[in-house]
Amino acid sequence: MNDSSLRAVGAGMTVLAYVALCTSVYWRQRRIRLENARASAALAGGGAGKPALVLFASQTGNAETLAWKTARWLHERGTPSRLMPLNDVDADTLRTAGSAYFIASTYGEGDAPDGASLFAERVMGGAVADLSSLRYAVLALGDRQYANFCAFGRALDEWLQAKGAKRQSARIEVDNGDAAQLAAWQAHCSGSDAEAVTESPASAPQPWRLVRRTLLNEGSVGGPIFELAFTPALGHEAQWESGDTAQITLDSDPGRPREYSIASIGADREMQFLVRQERHPDGSLGAASGLLTSTLVIGETATFRIRPHHGFRLGSNADRPLILIGNGTGLAGLRSHLRARAAMGQRENWLVFGERNERCDFLCRAEIEAWQREGVLGRLDLAFSRDQEEARYVQHRLLQAHEDVSQWVARGAAIYVCGSLNGMASGVDAALRQILGVEAMGELSASDRYRRDVY
Ligand SMILES: Cc1cc2nc3c(=O)[nH]c(=O)nc-3n(C[C@H](O)[C@H](O)[C@H](O)COP(=O)(O)OP(=O)(O)OC[C@H]3O[C@@H](n4cnc5c(N)ncnc54)[C@H](O)[C@@H]3O)c2cc1C
Ligand SMILES: Cc1cc2nc3c(=O)[nH]c(=O)nc-3n(C[C@H](O)[C@H](O)[C@H](O)COP(=O)(O)O)c2cc1C
């Protein structure tokens, strides 16, 4: 065979491999959707009377997973149930429901998670007169390390009371997955003494070996950011989707696992992260980021649990154009999506990335520029805040490009935001509301076309 025939065979095999990959992704997603629909229908069937509503307000999936468990416990004791995200619920649904179980996490500074922000704005902030026909229970998820512990679950409970709804049982508050509180909730839902349940849907913790650590922002005025690469230490099978996160378990602080956005895809055969080294005011290193970026020696292992982040996966947006917005280590979650899109041959991707100075802080520059050349990135906008007199952030780039943002969204684009909650995510949210309008942003959230992995 001559050179050009070999090239043609090679190109043919690449196309075949690509078609096989697309087909398998399509069928897997279709299977998951069908399984979820079948599971919901099974839970709503059987038993007598109206199904109880099981409503969840979730950011990273804990509340959603507990909602599924709650629906199963109810079903097992003969109560059919209907599972819904709070954002899909309106006042009439509550008025006519009969009974409802609310499972709500808290985010930001005591705010509703994204999966309930519309509900908080439209229903809790609206004019619901009378919910006296509703019986309800609230499970509030939170973490006492935050100043406003379980604030959204509490606000929801108080609002339901104020509207006349009847509490079936006292609100249960779960501090960072507290097993005793979760068992109390299970006992309430299943009507029996319950075994302790766990809050997280994550896979079992597994040891991962550090194989590479690279400083990405040498000379930066900000904290050092490293790219880390881990391989399974036991040769175990590891599966995740772009957008998922991994929790590291610390011997020194087993109560509070730290979460990191996975920056790679399964095909990379490595779990990669972008981690900023934290330093406490006393000069000591952050517990998890210090281990990852400094103390852990190449070849040593750390324990990670992969967590499906349903709210940030590509999911139903896999075939849509994407606007990906982030700053700093937020590039991690966006990078996994871009690698997945590149593997799928999906080219309608617009990255808006911000950091401080282009010279030191243009993270993963070579990969991003290669995506630009290869057409994986249809558009790239960069905002280096300190490269000009007036600070310029990603939200300013969006406002400047407002006509294109509107056009992409009109063409069906989904918006993904990853990175810091304070400053970036709130600024981006305000800019998008200004560009697209509050109503349109509500519709994007409700149809899962506005997804965030923010911290
Ligand atoms: C969904 C999600 C995704 C994330 N993804 C990423 C990512 O991709 N990359 C990334 O770098 N980070 C990410 N994070 C943040 C990450 O989980 C950690 O919060 C971060 O690395 C800091 O953890 P640490 O253990 O190093 O710091 P900690 O030791 O917990 O310190 C954090 C802060 O707490 C305070 N503090 C703690 N102890 C002390 C002390 N003794 N004295 C004074 N102050 C103290 C300080 O303000 C300090 O800056 C993500 C978070 C979430 C929730
Ligand atoms: C960025 C961030 C902010 C949070 N803010 C709060 C808070 O203000 N109050 C609180 O009680 N818990 C807070 N939490 C803890 C979450 O509510 C808790 O982890 C919950 O289990 C998440 O559930 P979910 O995965 O369903 O969203 C916060 C967690 C994160 C990551």
More confident residue, 114 or 32: 114
Question: Across-strand partners of 247?
Answer: 259, 305
The widest CA-to-CA distance across the chain, in whole angstroms, is: 81
What band does 220 get if pLDDT is binned at 50, 70 and 90? Answer: very high
Residue 48 has pLDDT above 60, yes or no: no
Is residue 217 within 6 Å of ligand 1 at its C-beta?
A: no
| Nearest in space to 204 (alpha carbons), one of 237, 179, 174, 252 | 237
User: Residue 417's beta-bridge partner residues?
Assistant: 325, 452
- Integer Cα distance of 88 and 361 in angstroms: 40
- Percent of the chain with pLDDT strictly greater than 90: 68
CA separation, residue 140 to residues 1, 51, 376 (Å): 67, 22, 42
Is 289 a residue whose pLDDT tops 50? yes
User: Of 344, 333, 294, which Cα lies nearest the Cα of 416?
Assistant: 333
- Is the CATH number 3.40.50.80 carried by domain 317-454? yes
Q: Rounded to whole angstroms, how far apart are CA atoms 421 and 182?
A: 28
Residue 12 is predicted with a pLDDT of: 76
| Range 303-311 average pLDDT | 88
Pick the residue whose CA is nearest to atom 13 on ligand 1: 260
The residue nearest atom 38 of ligand 1, judged by CA position, is 280
DSSP 225-270: EEEEEEEETT-------TT-EEEEE-SS-TTS-EEEE--S-GGGTS
Write down the pLDDT at residue 159.
97
- Ligand 1 within 6 A of 453 CB? yes
Chain position carrying tokens 């696992």: 257
**Residue 20 buriedness (CB in 10 A; 0-12 / 13-18 / 19+):** exposed
Separation of CA 258 and ligand 1 centre (Å): 7
Mutate to test the pocket of ligand 1, among 280, 336, 418, 452 (most ligand atoms within 8 A of CB): 280
Q: What is the pLDDT of residues 318-368, one digit of tens each?
A: 999 999 999 999 999 999 999 999 999 999 999 999 999 999 999 999 999
Report which of residues 59 and 196 the model is more confident about.
59
Cβ–ligand 1 distance for 225 under 6 Å, the answer no
More confident residue, 10 or 314: 314
Question: Is residue 414 helix, strand or coil?
Answer: strand
* Amino acid symbol at 126: G
Q: What SS3 state is found at 104?
A: strand
pLDDT band of residue 193 (cuts 50, 70, 90) is very low
Model pLDDT, residue 197? 42
Work out the average pLDDT over 199-227: 89
Over its C-alpha atoms, the chain yields an Rg (Å, rounded) of 23
- pLDDT beyond 50 at 198: no
Q: How far is the CA of 105 from the centre of ligand 2 (A)?
A: 6
Residues 6+ apart with CB under 8 A from 159: 124
**Residue extents of the structural domains in the chain:** 42-197, 206-307, 317-454
Q: State mean pLDDT over 129-156.
A: 95
Q: Give CATH superfamily name and number for 42-197.
A: Flavodoxin domain (3.40.50.360)
**Distance from the alpha carbon of residue 269 to the mean position of ligand 1, in angstroms:** 26
Among residues of the chain, what percentage have pLDDT more than 70?
A: 90
- Could you check whether 206-307 and 317-454 share the same CATH topology? no
pLDDT tens across 82-130, in order?
999 999 999 999 999 999 999 999 998 899 999 899 999 999 998 877 9
* Distance from C-alpha of 70 to C-alpha of 64, rounded to nearest angstrom: 10
Considering every ligand atom, which ligand is closest to the CA of 253? Answer: 1
| Span from the CA of 195 to the centroid of ligand 1 (angstroms) | 32
Q: Is the pLDDT of residue 25 over 60?
A: no
pLDDT in tens, 383-397: 999 999 999 999 999
Q: Is 201 in the pocket of ligand 2 (CB under 6 A)?
A: no
Banded model confidence at residue 6, pLDDT cuts 50, 70, 90: confident
Shortest-distance ligand to the CA of residue 143:
2
Q: Tell me how far apart the alpha carbons of residues 444 and 316 are, in angstroms, rounded to a whole number.
A: 12
What is the CATH class of 206-307?
Answer: mainly beta
Q: Is 159 in the pocket of ligand 2 (CB under 6 A)?
A: no
pTM (2 decimals)? Answer: 0.73
